Amino acid sequence: MTWTVNETHDAALLSWVQSANHPDSDFPIQNLPFGVFRRAETAEPFRGGVAIGDQILDLRAVKDRVPFAGAAEALAACSEPALNRLMSMGPAAQSQLRLCLSRALRSGSEHAAVLQADLVPQADAELQVPANIGDYTDFYASIHHATSVGKQFRPDNPLFPNYRWVPIAYHGRSSSIGTSEQRFHRPVGQSMPPGADTPVFGPSRRLDFELEAGIFIGAGNALGDSIPIADAEKHVFGMCLLNDWSARDIQGWEYQPLGPFLAKNFATTISPWIVTLEALAPFRLPFSRVGADPQPLAYLDGPADRAAGGIDIHLEVALQTTSMRDRGIPAQRLAASNFRHAYWTVAQMVAHHTVNGCNLRPGDLFGSGTLSGPSPAEAGSLLELTDGGKRTIELPNSEVRRFLEDGDAVVLRGWCERQGHRRIGFGSCRGTVLPAHPAAHPAHPAAHPASPSSPVLN
């Protein structure tokens, strides 16, 4: 299944919410992403909302004022403090709700006067993680990232032999996922300095970001049942931005032989708005393997995925230091990439994850893995941008970075645009590094480069 373009995507549609009609808005009426919010500095219950321009439409309030015919149950599910029940209802119910919202928010809608009272400015809202995330799986879907990192440790053979055949992933920690504006302490752990025979313990000195997309699962599958690739997108609710923070020095030491642990589980930041797959329909692309790369195995291949498995999502990552913030200098863009560079599609990730009978549940989250592109300017991590810390990045105020310092804020943004369609966006995904807890470590170790014998994979 792939979503098709319908009346909700009409580029001529305008909203009675005037800010949604600005050409640079992330949230025009053609988008309508879902999130969970309450008014800031209140004890109100969290509930579902839809972003429209610089406002949020309060869906709990809408339920009491305008119960949409044909979408009443889906609308009622949005009154809850997490979107899991809405996600579980499947694409037909979700699409009908989105259609009702589109019609209610259009210029000339009979509901405009009533729903005006149910708008909350985004600037006055507190947003939280939009679902109860039971499980989190992070993939490794950019061959450009895998190759770039692999060259640092295996110049003659950067990719492991299974990479082109199987979607690689690891299971992360859902309890430490936070939404945009997340602030977290620098992680501590063991690392092995080059040439040493004893590891050291202390705060990570090689803290990194990863520019990724997040994929929220909708309807799940029963334990023991697999999801065929032709049906995979029926089980996806939508997408967000995702920063899988990584302590490269800790990761390089602990990763062998079972993979990431403390280097990854301290924080993952996502953007608070979930852009539905339906909203992304105008921006789909063909998917194919090029050159000498092997074609996917049969369970990872299908005509619909070949025709439109790719998604044209522009991505960028920017950095703002404490000094930049104090001087009013905006975050500086470090790199720009695109989800179209992913080596594996969303449908392939779902099909592979369940092929052994693994049961997915509504609200489960996938990370795409670092979405680096083919050129150096499209690198989605400092590990690549600085060649493992060998080079520095100079910022507008003459500060330099190899890896992240305390106080640094990393900002991810994503958007889709195509001629004949309205630009839609994902909003901002921002996270800030705080100093390590002083009680968590006896000393602050000196910075040291990663050991070539401790490869960092993702």
Same structural domain, 171 and 196? yes
Confirm whether 145 is a catalytic residue. Answer: yes
Burial 24-59 (b: 16+ CB within 10 A, else e): ebbbbbbbbbbbbbbeeeeeeebbbbbbbbbbbbbb
E strand residue ranges, 375-423: 393-394, 400-401, 409-416
Strands of 53-152 (E only): list them.
55-58, 119-121, 125-128, 136-139
Specify whether 146 is located in the same domain as 114. no
Domain match, 89 and 192 both: no
203 and 91 share a domain? no
pLDDT tens column, 70-96 = 999 999 999 999 999 999 999 999 999
Q: Are 362 and 85 in contact (CB under 8 A)?
A: yes
Domain-terminating residue out of 66, 101, 128: 128
Split into its structural domains, the chain has a count of 2
For 286, other C-beta atoms within 10 Å of its C-beta total: 11
- Residue from 144, 145, 352, 353 carrying the catalytic annotation: 145
Examine the domain organization and report whether 140 and 85 are in the same domain: no
Q: Would residue 325 count as lying in a domain?
A: yes
Asked if residue 31 belongs to a domain, the reply is yes
CB 334 within 8 A of CB 372: no
| Boundary (domain end) residue, out of 101, 128, 155 | 128
* Distances, alpha carbon 432 to alpha carbons 136, 327, 388, 429, 438, in Å: 21, 17, 22, 11, 18
CATH of the domain at 370: 3.90.850.10
Structural domain includes residue 242: yes
Query: Does 432 lie in the same domain as 298?
Result: yes
269 and 371 assigned to the same domain: yes
Query: Which of 210, 190, 208 shows the shortest CA–CA distance to 200?
Result: 190
Q: Are residues 156 and 118 in the same domain?
A: no
- Quick one: 81 and 174 in the same domain? no
* Residue linked to tokens 């992330």: 26
What lies within 8 Å, CB to CB, of 443 at 6+ separation is 202
What is the rounded CA–CA span in Å between residue 320 and residue 334? 10
228 in the same domain as 115: no
Q: Which pLDDT score, from 0 to 100, does residue 1 have? A: 55
DSSP secondary structure code for residue 142 in this structure: B
Q: Which of 128, 149, 166 is the last residue of a domain?
A: 128
How much is the pLDDT for 155?
A: 78
What does pLDDT average to in each consecutive run of 10 residues of the chain (458 residues)? Answer: 88 98 97 98 97 98 90 96 98 97 97 96 98 92 79 77 83 93 95 92 96 98 97 98 96 86 95 98 94 93 96 98 96 97 96 96 97 95 95 95 98 97 98 89 47 48
* The predicted structure's pLDDT at residue 156: 78
Domain-embedded: residue 455? no
Has residue 458 been placed in a domain?
Answer: no
Task: Please list the residues that pair with 241 across neighbouring strands.
Answer: 213
Tell me what pLDDT residue 286 has.
96
Q: For residue 454, is it within any domain?
A: no
pTM of the entire predicted model: 0.93
Q: Does residue 447 belong to any structural domain of this protein?
A: no
Does residue 397 fall inside a structural domain? yes
Query: Residue 97 is encoded by which pair of tokens?
Result: 């709700």
Say whether 430 sits in a helix, a strand or coil: strand
pLDDT the model gives residue 442: 58
Residues 253 and 281 in one domain: yes
Q: Are residues 309 and 164 in the same domain?
A: yes
Q: Are 16 and 106 in contact (CB under 8 A)?
A: yes
Range of the domain at 45: 7-128
Closest by Cα among 344, 30, 52 to 215: 344
Domain CATH number, residue 61: 2.30.30.230
